[in-house]
Amino acid sequence: MVMMKRPKRNKDSKERKNKRMPKKRAMRVDMAEINYKNLRFLQQFVTDRGKLLPRRMTNVSAKSQRAIAVAVRQARILAFLPVASLPAHQAYATPMTREPGEHRRHSEGKSYASDSAR
């Protein structure tokens, strides 16, 4: 069996591994500004699908992120913010319409054994 030698690593890659990435500077958010009624402010931290953005994307402190999460939750409960939104391909789809009192089984014109027993 022939032993193959590993390719040598670059010194640069080894140095890059040990080097730490500088931390992002936390965005200063006024705690008085975080409120469930302040929808424009809260929408900065929520995606178009209704998901809360993580701290690494918004650059806010942990304390502010927790307060934002509580405010978004309160706004969702009071229906100021949507809990979730439909995907783009479903947002404009027309729902099936039926006449009032019409049931799906009866609209097809089929008779079922459970219907005759009643």
**Quick check: is 11 in a domain?**
no
pLDDT exceeding 90 applies to what percent of the chain?
28
- Rounded mean pLDDT, 107-115: 56
What does the alpha-carbon distance between residue 76 and residue 71 come to, in Å, rounded to a whole number?
9
**Quick check: is 10 in a domain?**
no
CATH number of the domain where residue 66 is located = 4.10.640.10
State pLDDT tens for residues 54-106: 998 888 999 999 999 999 999 999 999 888 876 666 656 566 666 766 666 65
Q: Which domain holds residue 81?
A: 24-87
Residue 36 has pLDDT above 90, yes or no: yes
Read off the pTM.
0.53
**Quick check: is 82 in a domain?**
yes
Choose among 63, 71, 28: nearest CA to 46.
71
**Quick check: is 114 in a domain?**
no
